[in-house]
């Protein structure tokens, strides 16, 4: 029987920008280039980015993922250890130095910028408010730039209401880079209302890529019977895209890691599908999901593009003379 008989029509609105941001791209390149330069194994502390496919792909090339540095065996001391794109507390490079480990920091430059803003607030005598999600690696890294007790974490408007600082006139805030632009605006507005002298960071903390992906989803979501966000359940920016799609008018929205996990009964008979991908989701998986819909629907793809991204972040100095080819990255970029 021919599967392609009488496939129902489907319009796929494919968002742009989507998928890898410059910080994620750079972090993955750092591991790939380190493997080329130093050979396997290259150690990586925590998931380099929040994506199983990426982690497994790098493991296949010879990367070993560890939670903490004491898991690196003595005989591999000379091999590099890479710190993830989310950033690390100051104690981690200090720990690496005390163990004589050679490390490559893959912290996204936009996360490093938030670290610097937080440190600047603190240097100028302000208590730092960090707007973010408790337990997220980026939040742990940002709080870990400053002495214990000098940062308060605020997650919601309710938290902002309940917050009682020791000195309400000396406060500065920064935010996690991957939050919902709209939700964060509400929290900041409430804090400003309560603490008129609250000092903002000198540049916006939510990064360009988060903002751009949310904007594209907002434009594409109205009228979608289903909106699929390609991404991992522990990826903050991907989960925010699901919420943005629903809020902007998609009937249903799903976070999907691979085509194989799509429940086709749940998908049902849809006519308009939106697709975007979180900042750590490879384009290869977006292609795989579109292909899965093409097999079941007579699908036409419309591009819903709201911005052009051409940011590019340089890799660590130690790796800049190693050649990176298209083939080196084809497993994620297609």
Which string of b and e fits 242-280 if b means at least 16 CB within 10 Å?
bbbbeebebebbbbbbebeebeeeebeebebbbbbbbbb
Q: Is 21 annotated as a binding residue?
A: yes
Residues with Cβ within 8 Å of 192's Cβ and at least 6 positions away in sequence, in order, are 198
- DSSP alpha helix (H) spans, the chain: 22-38, 52-61, 91-98, 109-123, 137-143, 157-162, 181-194, 208-220, 236-247, 264-267, 283-296, 326-333
Going by C-alpha positions, the residue among 71, 32, 20, 48 that lies closest to residue 231 is 20
Cβ proximity of 299 and 290 under 8 Å: yes
Is 306 known to sit in a ligand binding site?
no
Element (H, E) at 274: strand 272-277
207 is in an annotated binding site: yes
86 marked ligand binding residue: yes
**108 annotated as ligand-binding:** yes
Query: The tokens of 46 are what?
Result: 């925590």
Catalytic-labelled residue, pool 71, 75, 138, 302: 138
- Catalytic, 138? Answer yes
Q: Which two tokens stand for residue 219?
A: 């434009």
How far is Cα 19 from Cα 283, in angstroms, rounded to an integer? 6
Backbone angles phi, psi at 284, to 5 degrees: -55, -35
Residue 240 DSSP symbol: H
Q: Is 212 annotated as a binding residue?
A: no
Residue 235 known to bind ligand: yes
Binding site for dimethylallyl diphosphate: which residues? 50, 86, 136, 235-237, 280
Binding site for isopentenyl diphosphate: which residues? 50, 86, 136, 235-237, 280
Binding site for [4Fe-4S] cluster: which residues? 21, 108, 207
Binding site: which residues? 21, 50, 86, 108, 136, 177, 207, 235-237, 280
Residues with catalytic annotation? 138
């Amino acid at each position: 029987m021919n599967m392609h008989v009488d496939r129902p029509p489907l319009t796929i609105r494919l968002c742009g920008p989507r998928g890898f941001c410059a910080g994620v791209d750079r972090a993955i390149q750092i591991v790939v280039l380190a493997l080329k330069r130093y050979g396997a194994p290259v150690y990586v502390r925590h998931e380099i980015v929040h994506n199983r496919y990426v982690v497994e792909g790098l493991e296949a090339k010879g990367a070993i993922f560890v939670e903490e540095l004491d898991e690196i065996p003595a005989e591999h001391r000379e091999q590099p250890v890479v710190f993830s794109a989310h950033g690390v507390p100051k104690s981690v490079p200090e720990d690496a130095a005390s163990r004589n480990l050679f490390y490559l920091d893959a912290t996204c430059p936009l996360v490093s910028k938030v670290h610097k803003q937080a440190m600047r607030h603190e240097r100028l005598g302000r208590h730092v408010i960090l707007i973010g999600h408790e337990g997220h690696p980026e939040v742990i890294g940002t709080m870990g730039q400053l002495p214990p007790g000098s940062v308060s974490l605020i997650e919601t408007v309710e938290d902002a209401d309940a917050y009682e600082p020791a000195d309400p006139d000396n406060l500065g805030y920064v935010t996690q880079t991957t939050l919902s632009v709209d939700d964060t605006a509400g929290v900041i507005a409430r804090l400003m209302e309560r603490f008129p002298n609250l000092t903002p960071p000198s540049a916006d903390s939510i990064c360009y890529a988060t903002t751009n992906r949310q904007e594209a989803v907002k434009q594409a979501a109205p009228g979608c019977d289903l909106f699929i966000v390609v991404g991992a359940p522990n990826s903050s920016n991907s989960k925010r895209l699901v919420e943005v799609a629903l809020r902007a008018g998609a009937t249903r929205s799903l976070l999907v890691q691979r085509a194989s996990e799509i429940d086709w009964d749940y998908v049902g008979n849809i006519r308009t599908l939106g697709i975007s991908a979180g900042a750590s989701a490879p384009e290869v998986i977006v292609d795989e999901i579109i292909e899965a819909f093409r097999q079941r629907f007579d699908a036409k793809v419309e591009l819903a593009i709201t911005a052009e991204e051409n940011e590019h972040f340089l890799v660590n100095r130690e790796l800049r003379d190693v050649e990176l080819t298209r083939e080196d990255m084809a497993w994620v970029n297609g």
